[in-house]
Chain A
Amino acid sequence: MDICVCVKRVPGTGSTILLTDDGMNVDTRHLGFTIGPHEECAVEEAVQIVTAHGGSVTVLTAGPPEAEEQLRYALSLGADRGVLIDTGPEELDAEQTASALTQAIRQLESGGSRFDMLLFGNESADASHYQVGIRVACALELPMVGGVKGIQIDEAAGTLDLRRDAAGGIEVYRTPLPAAVAVAEGLNLPRYPSMRGRLRAMKARLDTVEVQLEPGGLRKRGLRRPAEQGSQTVMLGTGPEAADAVADVLEELGVV
């Protein structure tokens, strides 16, 4: 199984989201960057699959040169190869991101060996476009299922069984390989990087790929925070002595 996992450098989450002065981006001075929880699960799953079935894990990202940090993080979890598409500091739209990833995957596959599986996070933690994986899969003519929380491989039959939540239950899709899958948190519990993994990732050589991009049809004018209902918190007390005040509130709300 040769697997390509696409990840994105996104701002870390704190208790509030601050914006830059021009309102075009999230202010990351105090937050740092990370890969989203869905994508962390995608990397973990790929590493587990390759450990069980053999093969290799390539991690691919489109973003600024600093996204190297996220590639090295994925390598520290056990991925074999990191590939950076340097697209500069500006945020890409969903069509550009998909185009960059598609072009890069074609270049990586130009030697004749195809990836058996492409893994994505279901949606990016910052832009939440819900479409990049699907666009890449369509361009490469691969079947694609999103929101996946369970992957079972039948190597003999060349199929995947993909479980996801559905309204009121679960559904399982069967899809031929090669295939693309967008996963959701809950698929597995990602490991913490080991010291050995971190050292290996620090020293690893990253590959770079160049692509040509055209702007897509959705153009960001700016970001803003929706108005919060600023209500004052009613303090019910401190410690066990507050229990009666809590019981009063429960009665008031009709829950007991």
Chain B
Amino acid sequence: MTVLAIVEHDGGVPTAGSLQAVAVAAQVGGTGSAEAVAFGPGAELLRPRLVTAGVARLHVLEHDLLDDYSPETWGESLAQLVGQLRPDGVVAAGTDRGNELMAQAAARAGLPFAANCVAVDGGTGTSPAWQLTRARVGGLLYEDADLTASVKMLSLAAGVEVATAPSAADSHELPVEVFTPELPADFAYSRVVERAGHTTGVTLATAPVVVSGGRGVASAEGFAPLEELAELVGGAVGCSRVATNNGWRPHSDQVGQTGTRIAPDLYIACGISGATQHWVGCMNAKAILAINTDPEAPMVTRATYAVIGDVQDVLPAVIAAVRRRAGASTGRRPALT
């Protein structure tokens, strides 16, 4: 069996999700079955890392049009590679780009594609279908499904735990095969014309603490104590869909299925009832503190900690308590005089 793993990389450093794709390819296909596919300049630099991950061969896609990512050129190239190699399966990380690339390739190769799998079981001799479980609705729902195709294409949901089996054969040379796709001159595709990084600082996606507000905050001005607490603890401000739809906060602050999915150390949910579409965005937080007037709100019953009360009463008191303690601890320092 041969199973290809798509390896996304930054100048030869593979992403964590790509190494999970490699691990799943090896797990499903058995020893020596995993082969890697990489695009763009620097792909050959992946060799040492891929050898230790148990990859048997590296396919590098090369073409002038592939140096920068474009959904159509990359997807067409992967479809052509799949057509030539006829592997049993192709596995990618279920990132935005990973899912887009796989869908493009599957569509062009006329193959089905199972997005965001959380478990994969390769077929046996009697049952050629692969049995898999996919995450729907951001992981709130699982779908058990059979994937039947000459080439099984799938992506892995973010955060899937995969047991990796480091290869002992780290001394052998990793064979590299270059594949140059045929891309006609009139090929219609979209190309990147601008890239910009976010300003540095605490972002919603990476903040250790997120102070988030929903309907119970009641207005744009109502977010002032949330901002104050966030600043006090070095965190970021988030919000629910209600807050965005009412124009209280920009969409970039939205936590949820259609906003940002976060996994902070602490999520403070202020006046958020906890509809499924919000819950899926914050459920991976290590701890959740809910502040809500309704003790029956789903956010309260699912939270680690809860305070029953109005945000505008509770937060100022919390801010005062935190400041008092910070002040007290400063006061305990020995005087310099």
Contact = CB atoms under 8 A, between A and B. Distances in A.
A220 B114 CA distance: 11
A131 B99 contact: yes
Given A216-B112, A219-B148, A255-B233, A246 B307 contact: yes
B306 A240 contact: no
A145 B190 contact: yes
B212 interface: no
B258 interface: yes
Residue from B75, B258, B300 having most chain A Cβ neighbours under 10 A? B258
Contacts of B94: 130
Given A15-B273, A250-B322, A172 B258 contact: no
A3 to B, nearest CB: 18
Contact of B314 (A165, A171, A184, A242): A242
Given A145-B71, A240-B309, A224 B144 contact: yes
A161 interface: yes
A212 interface: no
Nearest to A241: B317
A234 interface: yes
Contacts of A246: 289, 305, 307, 314, 318, 321
Contacts of A130: 94, 99-100, 103, 115-116, 155
A171 B194 contact: yes
Interface stretch (B24-32, B42-50, B174-182, B246-254): B246-254
A233 interface: yes
Nearest to A219: B146
Contacts of B75: 134, 138
B149 interface: yes
Interface of B is mostly: mixed
Nearest to A237: B307
B96 A143 contact: no
A234 B305 contact: yes
A236 B107 CA distance: 53
Interface residues of A, number: 87
Interface residues of B, number: 98
Contacts of B298: 15-16
A101 to B, nearest CB: 13
Given A125-B257, A174-B191, A247-B321, A238 B71 contact: no
B147 to A, nearest CB: 5
A249 B305 contact: yes
B121 interface: no
Interface string A146-162: 11010000000000011
Contacts of B197: 168-169
A68 B305 CA distance: 44
B194 to A, nearest CB: 4
Interface string B181-211: 0000000111111111110000000001100
A146 B71 contact: yes
Nearest to A138: B107
Contacts of B139: 226
B305 A217 contact: no
A211 interface: no
Residue from B115, B191, B290 having most chain A Cβ neighbours under 10 A? B115
For the complex of A and B, 9 pairs with smallest distance between CB atoms: A217-B112, A186-B251, A240-B317, A131-B103, A243-B317, A175-B190, A172-B194, A138-B107, A185-B258
Given A175-B189, A237-B307, 6 more contacts: A17-B140, A94-B112, A130-B99, A161-B193, A236-B289, A239-B308
Interface of A: 13-17, 26, 36-38, 93-95, 98, 123, 125-131, 134-135, 137-139, 141-147, 149, 161-162, 165-166, 168-176, 179, 184-186, 189, 216-226, 228, 231, 233-247, 249-251, 253-256
28 contacts: A16-B298, A125-B257, A126-B136, A128-B137, A129-B113, A130-B103, A130-B155, A131-B99, A134-B100, A134-B104, A135-B107, A144-B71, A144-B104, A144-B190, A146-B71, A165-B96, A174-B193, A185-B254, A189-B244, A189-B245, A189-B247, A218-B147, A236-B306, A239-B308, A244-B321, A249-B289, A249-B305, A255-B233
Interface of B: 70-72, 75, 94, 96, 99-100, 102-104, 106-108, 111-116, 129, 134-149, 155, 188-198, 208-209, 232-235, 241, 244-245, 247, 251-252, 254, 257-259, 265-266, 273-277, 279, 287, 289-290, 298, 300-310, 313-314, 316-318, 320-322, 325-326
